[in-house]
Structures are given as C-alpha cells and as structure tokens.
C-alpha cells in the first residue's frame, strides 16, 4: 500500500485546522470521537447499527439562507477495504430549506448511491433513535422506529465494501461536527426488524448482539479512556477521546462527544 505523501499529509493538516477555525467561529468547541474494533464485531453481509442521539444546539440557528451545504453532524463511519459508509446530518443543499439525515456510500469497485432519510429537526436535548440495517444488497434507515428510506445496491454490500479494516468510528474524525450525545449503542449481526429495534425500549442482550454499550461508566486502562459495554464480542470497550464526557442519557447515563458536559 502506498503511503501518504508529505503534500497530502500537509493538506489534511491544513484542512483539519481550517475546520477547527470554523468551529470556533460558530461557537462550537472541538469535539471527540469514540471507536470500536470491527474484527469479529461487524459483518457487512448482514447487520444493524443503532443508537439514541441527542444534540445540544438549535438546528434553526444553522440553516443557511441559500443552497449552501452545512454539515451539522458526522454520526458514524464504517471503512472497508474497497468502500465506506458514513451517517451524517446536514442543512442546506439537498435538504433545503431545512436539515436532514443521510447515509453516504462509496466504493472503488461498484457504483453506490447515497441514501437520504429525509427532513429531521430535533429539539435541543431531545433524544431520537437512529438505526441502519443491511442484508445482502439492501440498506434501510430508521428514525424513531419508522422506516424512512431503503436502497438496493448493484452488488452485495459485503462485496462493495470488502473487508472492514478500520475501527467503527462514532463522531467526526476532524474534531468539529461531533456535537452530540449518544446512548444505548448496539451493533448486531442480523438485520433487525422494526419491533426489535431499541426504539421500543431499553435493549436486552441476545445471541446476535456483538456490541451493546449503555455508557454508564468510563475507565482508564493503559492510558486509554474506555467505555464498559454490557456486551463486547471482541475488544476491551469503546475508546473515547479526552473531549468525551458522561451526561444524563435516554436511559441512565450517556456519552457526550463534546466538552462541557457534566461529569
């Protein structure tokens, strides 16, 4: 594999710095990330990723007056050998005049199209359940237990993505658009039906659960800040960065990916 050139590394550093300047300009502090190992935990042949999400800001304050794209949240990212999927939340552009949820997909070996979950305007501090399920060539996006959209790809997602080679990322890798708190994150190896999703109540463990993190505690292990999942098929826990804090959640405690939350 060819390494990054010095020019590419510098360009990425400049981009990250510019995004942090933008965050300060709109009053947002640097945000953190949470990562989980994918080996043995995530299978793109079939699965479900779900969590409760809450944002502390008023979406109305970030709606552009024109068609300009304004990224508000980078929710999760799955990186494979040949492709990737990112769940995000944006204002403007295709969501104009409001804001909405989407899944961005890309692959080096097969054409993939984005999936829009439509308009969505949460109140500050309100909790909403987001879920993405996949099986073969089918991808579905649920919001608060309601199927918002469905996509059939030209090839199975496992083929389009290839081996998942990087950790599951929650939050914005650039440290800007991660202003959210999360609770009851679950990764499963089956395509969950609507009545099996966490929207229907606090989750219970079953044989298809690979990760179930309720974010009740944070601990330090060998210099790392780790969550303590109820279920973690392989791995020690979710690795949180220093900006992450425990806050009041949908059930008990939750993890805020931004500083300033209560300890």
> Which residues, at least 6 apart from 184, have a Cβ–Cβ distance to it below 8 Å?
50, 51, 52, 198, 202, 203, 212, 213, 214, 249, 250, 251
**Domain of 197?**
29-256
Domain membership flag for residue 190: yes
Would you state the structure tokens that stand for residue 34, as one six-digit string?
């949470």
Tens digit of pLDDT for each residue in 229-239?
999 999 989 99
pTM of this structure: 0.87
Distance CA 182, CA 255 (A): 5
pLDDT of residue 68: 76
- The mean pLDDT of 86-110, rounded to a whole number, is 87
Domain membership flag for residue 126: yes
Q: What is the CATH number of the domain that holds 151?
A: 2.60.120.200
- The mean pLDDT of 203-219, rounded to a whole number, is 96
pLDDT of residue 1: 28
Would you state the structure tokens that stand for residue 120, as one six-digit string?
């969505």
CA atoms within 13 A on the CB side of 191: 13
Angle, CA of 20, 24 and 29, to the nearest 5°: 80
| Residue 245 near residue 256 (C-beta atoms within 8 A) | yes
Tens digit of pLDDT for each residue in 133-187?
999 999 999 999 999 999 999 999 999 999 998 999 999 999 999 999 999 999 9
**pLDDT band for position 28 (50/70/90)?**
low
Tens digit of pLDDT for each residue in 122-139?
999 999 999 999 999 999
| Residue 50 near residue 132 (C-beta atoms within 8 A) | yes
Domain membership flag for residue 238: yes
Number of domains in the chain: 1
């Amino acid at each position: 594999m060819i390494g990054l050139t010095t020019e590419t590394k510098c360009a990425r550093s400049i981009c990250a710095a510019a995004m942090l300047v933008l965050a300060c300009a709109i009053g947002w502090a640097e945000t953190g990330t949470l990562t989980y190992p994918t080996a043995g935990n995530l299978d793109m042949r079939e699965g479900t990723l779900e969590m409760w999400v809450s944002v502390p800001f008023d979406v109305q304050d970030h709606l552009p007056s024109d068609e300009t794209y304004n990224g508000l949240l980078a929710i999760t990212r799955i990186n494979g050998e040949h492709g990737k999927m990112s769940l995000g939340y944006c204002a403007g552009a295709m969501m104009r005049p409001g804001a909405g949820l989407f899944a961005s997909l890309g692959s080096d070996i097969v054409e993939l199209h984005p999936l829009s979950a439509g308009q969505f305007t949460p109140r500050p501090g309100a909790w909403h359940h987001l879920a993405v399920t996949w099986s073969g060539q089918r991808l579905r996006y649920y919001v608060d237990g309601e199927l918002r959209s469905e996509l059939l790809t030209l090839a199975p997602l496992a083929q389009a993505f290839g081996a998942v080679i990087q950790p599951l990322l929650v939050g914005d890798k650039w440290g800007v658009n991660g202003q959210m708190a999360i609770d009851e994150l679950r990764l499963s190896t089956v395509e969950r039906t609507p009545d099996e999703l966490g929207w229907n109540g606090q989750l219970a463990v079953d044989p298809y659960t690979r990760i179930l993190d309720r974010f009740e505690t944070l601990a330090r292990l060998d210099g790392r800040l780790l969550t303590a999942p109820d279920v973690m098929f392989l791995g020690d826990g979710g690795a949180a960065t220093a900006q992450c804090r425990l806050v009041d959640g949908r059930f008990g405690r939750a993890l805020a990916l931004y500083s300033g939350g209560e300890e």
